[in-house]
Structures are given as structure tokens and as C-alpha cells.
Amino acid sequence: MSRGIRFRVYVDGDLAVEDWAFPATEEEAERAAGLLADRHASIAERAAAAGQTWLVELYDPALPEAEAYVRFGSDVSGMVLPVPFSADAW
């Protein structure tokens, strides 16, 4: 698990937050996911209350490409392909 797990939240198609977790064990992975889930749920709830679509994306580079992404949320059009992101955009 040394490569980390990436968590992204999109609101109306725009990246709202990106978090990385670098767990050393399965227990640490579960704990990190739980903590981040609270943060991401809050963003999703605010987006839904404002009438915006939202999408949560989890990416684990240690998994095969076909299994590496998990997506869920109200923005079903964003669930088809990974969304490219450039740090240069900031």
C-alpha cells in the first residue's frame, strides 16, 4: 500500500477537493477512508442541498487499471472515464 490511495470530490464537474492517504496496513486504510468519508460526505451534502451534482472518486494505483477506480454520486456522466487533472491549473 505504499503508493497511496487518492480521493477526489467533484461538484458540478469541477474538482472540489483531492486527498491522498498512505496507509501502511489494511487497518490504517480503513481508518483513513472513514475519516475522509466524513469530509467528503459533507461536501456532497452541501452540493446536493444547492442543487449541484457531485461525484466521489477513489483511485488505488496498486490495483489493476480495470479495478483501480471506484466512483459514486449524483453526477453519472462523470463515472465513465477518469477525469484528467493538472497541478498546473492551480
CA distance 33 to 38: 9
At 27, list the grid cell: 487497518
Averaged pLDDT, 49-76: 89
At 73, list the grid cell: 454520486
Of 3-7, 77-81, 83-87, minimum mean pLDDT range: 83-87
Residue 82 within a domain: no
Contacts of 14 (CB under 8 A, 6+ apart): none
Q: Which domain holds residue 18?
A: 5-74
Residue 63 within a domain: yes
pLDDT exceeds 60 at position 82 = no
Domain count of the fold of the chain: 1
Predicted local confidence at residue 35, as pLDDT = 87
Residue 79 within a domain: no
Residue 39 within a domain: yes
At 26, list the grid cell: 489494511
Residue 33 within a domain: yes
pLDDT exceeds 90 at position 48 = yes
